[in-house]
Amino acid sequence: MTDIEEVKKGTTTIGLVCKDGVVMATEMRATMGTLIAHKTTQKLFRIDDNLGLTVAGVVGDAQTLARYITAEVELYKLKRGQPMTVKSAATLTSNILAGSRFYPYWVGLILGGVDREGNHVYALDMVGGAIPDDYVTTGSGSPYVYGVLEDHYEKGLGVSEGLDLTLRGLHAAMKRDAASGDGYAVASITKDGFVSLDEKEIQKRLSKMKLA
């Protein structure tokens, strides 16, 4: 994809803050215009036990950034003897994006996680803007997700409720956005670490909400 409007589209990613952690989720479809290019695309990355990243945009740029950020976070931990905070990771990522403005990474990112200061998600744009929020969604399916989140998100909800809410949001996007689909990738991040939901658990939750 070379057009900036195309790069902004073609996926659905979500990050939301809960009272006991953070939930992050994406679907798994990759598109090239009207072609469904891949059906098992990784858009959710574990950066560290306390950090996760969702990506939208050009696949190569997204994968490169995920590797780069993971390496920097690991180096920080080795040097300092403690995990990087979410704010520091967001600032690091913002600096990488801003420093590449003339040869930009064509991506939209959500970085989320937990640290000693609490639970956080940040939206990061391709030129380095980093904005914290209670919940963020990106990509062409995001208007449908925002409709769900605006109606159902409440401060203080638990991680289990957050997992159901992200699945509900993704389901709405995948029903109406042709560029989103082919499965769910969902993870929680708490003081106990980064945990991905397996397919059985995802289907169980969808069935309980009568969405499967």
How many domains does the chain contain in total?
1
Which tens digits make up the pLDDT trace of 65-121? 999 999 999 999 999 999 999 999 999 999 999 887 777 888 899 999 999 999 999
46 bridge partner residues:
52
Which residue range is the domain that position 77 belongs to? 4-208
Contact 185, 42 (CB under 8 A): yes
What is the tens place of the pLDDT at every residue in 114-171? 999 999 999 999 888 999 999 999 988 999 999 999 999 999 999 999 999 999 999 9
**In the structure encoding, which two tokens stand for residue 100, read together?**
């590449």
CA dist 195 → 13, 40, 185, 189, 192 (Å): 17, 19, 11, 6, 9
CATH of the domain at 146: 3.60.20.10
| Identified catalytic residue from 11, 13, 26, 137 | 11
Q: Pairing mode, if any, of strands 135-138 and 184-190?
A: unpaired
Quick check: is 166 catalytic? no
